[in-house]
Each structure stands twice: as structure tokens, then as C-alpha cells.
Amino acid sequence: MRVLVADKFEKSGLDGLKAAGCDVVYEPDLRDEGLTTAIRESGADVLVVRSTTVTAPMLEAGALSLVVRAGAGYNTIDVATASRRGIYVSNCPGKNAIAVAELAFALLLALDRRVPDNVAELRAGTWNKKEYSKARGLFGRTLGLLGYGNIGQEMAKRAHAFGMPIVVWSRRFASGKERVEDEPIPMTPARSPAEVAERSDVLSVHLALNADTRGLVNAAVLEKLRPGSYFINTARAEVIDQAALEKAIRERGLRVGLDVFAAEPTDPTGVFADAIVLLKSVYGTHHIGASTDQAQDAIAAETVRIITSYKDTGKVPNVVNLAKKTPATHMLVVRHRDCPGVLAHVFDHLRAGNINVQETENVIFEGAQAAVARINLDGAPPDTLLERIQAGSSDILDLHLVTI
């Protein structure tokens, strides 16, 4: 199996892929047309990326069957095109959660104690203890969390250790599928992002970017924050209404820590011109939330695990683009002798009846003399078709139709 790694990747990961028997092509600087050409010419089965954008022309260029995002978010991959072409998209959720939470908390502490301004004045030769002795402190101040996935959970652990009450909004709690009361860290649920903001001294965003969360933190949410509140975003810039955030900073005195920005350079180094960082009350970092040695080693190990599983078993862990529910409406259960041609006979008749097979499972009994096939269909075959299937093979022991 040939693996094209098109981003910087840990040596431990490259060594792990080679040890698993993969033919590894390491081209960390590939982008745009260069990456499209490399996918086509390398004949790669698997593509590994971090921040590199994976477009439809890239997915259509060669023989890819799996794209692994060596990280959590996968919004830089054209998942819709991958799904149309039957290409698995997988990620490494949770492996960078501690690293991102550590940076989010670092930004929070920096805001409260104005650490960057302290450093800047000291380096300029100015001693200003009178000014920088002013700080609110975090103990007893309420942290609001938007999102309670892996990173939100790690953030809650750290806030709890600092003696901060926690209020949280997450779809996992809003849907009723999970209860805040069952979480190991004490916290209070909120009914909406706006309610979280209203009850918080610090609002920290930990939401994945998707159609539902794009622009979710808008003016209606930000205006609920009390003047002078702290706001942290280490998730995705697109989750925030940037114009509303800038207005809140100017008019409501928000102090803001950002690791993500609306217009980030595509290369690791370059000119950066987002006006929001020129505001005095904004501290920023270079989208480095996941960039610790610990996190990158963990992500590399998970990437190797995903690709090794695919190579050895055909199964892909952490797939993000399999259908949660297929169009299947009925299941045809066929008990049959385990011999060649039985299922081909069934499928030929279903095709003739214009019935599409959505999913198939064939379970073998001990001794490999008999099996049961469960075939999910997008419609109900007429009785006459079922009778022809049954009568056409003496190796079919029984069949019946189940409505799903």
C-alpha cells in the first residue's frame, strides 16, 4: 500500500508506516497543482495531511481510497467529493485535546495577568510594577464552555483545578442523550450559547466547524458577555462572526485570546495582516494549539494505527463520511448453503427487479456448511421476485423480508 504524506509528519509516524509494510512517499511541501500531480503520478492509495487543503481535483486525480487528517478537524478536506468517489476520510480525534486545552488556558492566564505586555515592557527597559500588579484572578470566576468534546472536557478539568465554576452548552446535553450530572467535573448546563455567555466571566469556544456551527458565535451571543469579559477561541475562526467580535472588543472592552484567524497564511511562514491582532486587548498565537511534541507523537501513532488497520483488515477507524442512515427500507434475510454462486444468484435477480442493495452482511455458521446473508434494500421486492429467487437455487434454504 502506497502512502503519500503531504504535510510535515513525525519521524515516529513515518517509521511506523514503513514498519507496517507501507511504501511511504514523504513530500511535506506539496500544495495545490503540485499535490494533484503527485497524487496522480504516485498512484498513492492513501493520502495523509495536516493543514493542507484537499480539493475535488486532487481526489479525482488518482487512485486514492483513504484520506487521513492527522489531527481532529477535517474541514479542509472536500468530504462531499470523497464520499461520491467512495474514498474514506478519517481523522485522529482527541489526540491533540490536552495540547489545545493547555494553550487555551495559557491564553486565559496571559489575559488575566497581561503577560505579553509585561514581557514587552521589560524588554523595552521599563519597570512598571504599579500597572501590572492590577489583575482580577481566576479563582471563583465562571468559565463558559461552548462545546464539550475532547478539548472542552480537558478545559473543564483545568478550570475545575483553578476553582472556576463551569457552565456549558453542548448538543450532547441539549439533545438529552447525555446528562451533565453524570460528568466527573461539576458543571451547570445552559440552554443556548447566549445563555452561556450571559452567565460567564470567561467564554471559551471548543466547537468543530460545520454547517450548524459556522457563525454560531454572533452578535446576539457576544452582546450577552459582561463588559471586560474574557473570550478565548482555539477552535476555528469561522465559528465566530468576526465583525461582531471586533465590535464587542471596541465597544464592550472584551479581552480576547485567539489561536485561529479568519485569514491565515497557507504556508508555515509568511505575511499576516489580520487587523484584529492590532487591537490592544487581543493576544494571539500562530494556530499552534495542537503543536506540542506530545500531541504530534500521539497523532502520528493514531495515523499509523488507522492505515495499518486499513491495510491489514480493510476496516478504517474513525471514518467521518460513512452514511449514518442509508436509504434502505427493507432487509432480505437469506439462509443458504455456503457455496459459490448463491449470493450472485440473489443479486442478479435483485438487479433485474431494479432493487438496489445498500448493505450486505454474510454470517457463516460453524463448520462453514451454511450461512445467513442480511441484505439491506432500498425497496421491497414483490412476492413474485422473492419466489423466483427461492425457486431458482436449491442452495437457498429459506428467505424472508423484514421492514426496517
Q: How far apart are CA 131 and CA 340, in angstroms?
A: 83
Give dist(CA 328, CA 376) in Å, integer: 6
Q: How far apart are CA 204 and CA 211, in angstroms?
A: 20
Bridge pairing between strands 255-258 and 230-233: parallel
Q: b vs e for 127-166, b when ≥16 Cβ sit within 10 Å of the residue's Cβ?
A: eeeeeeeeeeebeebbbbbbbbbbbbbbbbebbbeeebbb
Is 126 buried (19+), middle (13-18) or exposed (0-12) by CB count in 10 A? Answer: exposed
Instruction: Give the three-state DSSP class for 69.
Output: strand
Q: Which of 264, 286, 305, 388 is catalytic?
A: 264
Q: Are 37 and 17 in contact (CB under 8 A)?
A: no
* Angle, helix 97-113 to helix 293-313, in steps of 10 degrees: 160
Q: Of 306, 170, 138, which Cα lies nearest the Cα of 235?
A: 170
| Candidate list 141, 287, 336, 349, residue with the active-site label | 287
Closest CA to 62 of 84, 78, 80, 46: 46
Catalytic site residue from 50, 141, 206, 236: 236
Q: Quote the CA–CA distance of 321 and 360 in Å, as a whole number.
A: 18
* Residue 264 among the catalytic residues: yes
Helical ranges in 65-203 per DSSP H: 79-84, 97-113, 115-123, 129-132, 150-161, 171-174, 193-198
- Is 109 exposed, middle or buried, given 0-12, 13-18 or 19+ CB atoms closer than 10 A? middle
Helix (H, G, I), strand (E, B) or coil at 143: strand
287 noted as active-site residue? yes
CB 375 within 8 A of CB 357: yes
**In angstroms, rounded to a whole number, what is the distance separating the alpha carbons of residues 340 and 235?**
52
For cell 445498500, name the residue. 358
Instruction: Say how far apart CA 36 and CA 57 lie, in whole Å.
Output: 7
Taking alpha carbons only, the member of 56, 24, 98 closest to residue 295 is 98
Residues with a catalytic annotation lie at 236, 264, 287
